[in-house]
Amino acid sequence: MELKHLAIRELLKEADEETAKISDKGGIMDTDNSMIQNLFDSLLNAFERRSSLTHGSFNQENEEGYPFISSFEKFLVNEEAPENFEQLVEAGMSQLAVAIAAPSARSATGGYVIFAVYGSDRADYLLAALVRDRSSIALNDSLQPTEVIEVNLEQLHQAARINITTFKQGKDSYLSFIGSKQKGEITHYFSTAFGCTDVTPSRKSTGELIKAAKDFCSQHDLGEKKEEIVEDVVSYLERQRSEKQTANLNDIENLFDAYIPPEQAETMAGTFGTFANGGPYNVSHEFQPHTSTINRFSKLKAKADNWQLDFTKKALGPAQSGKDIEFDEASGTLTLKRLPSKVLDQIRATLEEENS
């Protein structure tokens, strides 16, 4: 990732205070500084580890009510100019101070706010994150433990990321948010400050995408291939999640197009994205796959007093199906096939121990 701009500011507010202040400290940082690069790397890793994101877009019907939106658009006129980035940071801090002082966020507290603009071959982003101090232990010159205060980059209390490239392309869901585990408006003040009032949790987009895939197959004469197509969709989501990449409806649309018969290509090709993005599914064009939701569709987990099962659903089939795991309805038994040699060795060793 190429770090283009980074700024650090401080938002001052204690729990239950009615006002928030912006510290005079901090400002634009030197991106050539190795410590700044290390800080950014830690920040980005912490953000990308979060599997549960909320996605959305700017409330452009009421830009006057959300000044950050116009400031962001002005920044895009000349993204390279440090003064433009500085103005964007000031606008973001001003709106955060207003949002965190609202009655619904009264118990929220301030911290350090880090703004970073960075990019890769795929896209450019603006990341804003709220972090706080933590107490740690260090050894002094006499090797005596002493308390030190450090910035906790492992725990992001709030964060927002704007996909600049997706925004320029006119697509929706270019905004991603994380929040604390607390419920209620406290987790919403960050999105409000950045002008986002239309949000869709990644859990919902992941589940609704898989539902849309099944319905699309049923409604477009792809019923015989439905199981295979849904497996491909789930595998795609798993791959994107493991690679810390977002899922994109265009990618999934291309996956569907590969299954459409040539005689139906003229009417069906390139239609899944619109189908899934519309009602009743309303899947975001781009979203972070939600791990537990993917597992619910891709894995079967069960347990009894003396055993437990955990395997992918595509490995399961009825008796005589040729699958690795077969279920016999008549006898109520499960048969495991093609066991790896390592597993066989473990089973044999266990039986020998029991019989000795």
Alpha-carbon torsion angle 208, 214, 217, 223, nearest 10: 180
Tell which residue, 288, 254, 92, has the closest CA to residue 175.
288
**Which residues neighbour 10 within 8 Å (Cβ) at sequence distance 6 or greater?**
22, 23, 25, 26, 110, 111, 112, 113
Check: CB of residue 254 under 8 Å from CB of residue 266.
Answer: no
Q: Is the pTM of this model over 0.75?
A: no
Cα gap 136→133, rounded to integer Å: 10
Separation of alpha carbons 47 and 155, rounded Å: 9
In the prediction, which pLDDT does 185 show? 40
In whole angstroms, what is the distance from residue 218 CA to residue 354 CA? 51
Q: Which amino acid, 33?
A: N
What is the predicted pLDDT for the residue at 197? 66
Tokens 């599914």 belong to 281
Task: Please report the pLDDT score of residue 199 as a whole number.
Answer: 67
Q: How many angstroms separate the CA atoms of 246 and 51, rounded?
A: 10
Token pair 């283009």: residue: 4
Alpha-carbon gap, residue 245 to 149, rounded angstroms: 33
pLDDT at 62: 73
Taking CB atoms within 8 Å and a gap of at least 24, the contacts of 91-95 are 91/67, 92/68, 92/128, 92/193, 92/194, 93/9, 93/11, 93/22, 94/22, 94/67, 95/66, 95/67, 95/68, 95/193, 95/194, 95/195
d(CA 178, CA 159): 5
β-pair type (124-139, 158-163): antiparallel
138: β partners: 146
For residue 12, which of 83, 98, 112 has the smallest C-alpha distance? Answer: 112
Distances 24 to 100, 114, 272, 310, 347 between C-alpha atoms, Å = 18, 14, 50, 54, 66
pLDDT tens across the length of the chain (356 residues)? 899 999 999 999 998 888 899 999 999 999 999 999 999 999 998 888 775 667 778 887 777 778 899 999 999 999 999 999 999 999 999 999 999 988 888 888 999 999 999 998 889 999 999 999 888 898 989 888 998 888 888 778 888 999 999 899 887 678 888 755 444 344 578 888 888 866 677 788 899 999 999 999 999 888 888 888 998 999 999 999 888 888 888 899 999 999 988 888 888 888 998 888 877 887 877 788 888 888 887 778 888 888 888 887 778 889 888 888 999 998 999 999 988 899 898 999 888 888 77
Cβ neighbours of residue 102 under 8 Å, at least 6 residues apart?
A: 185, 189, 192
Q: What whole-number distance in Å separates Cα of residue 312 and Cα of residue 299?
A: 4
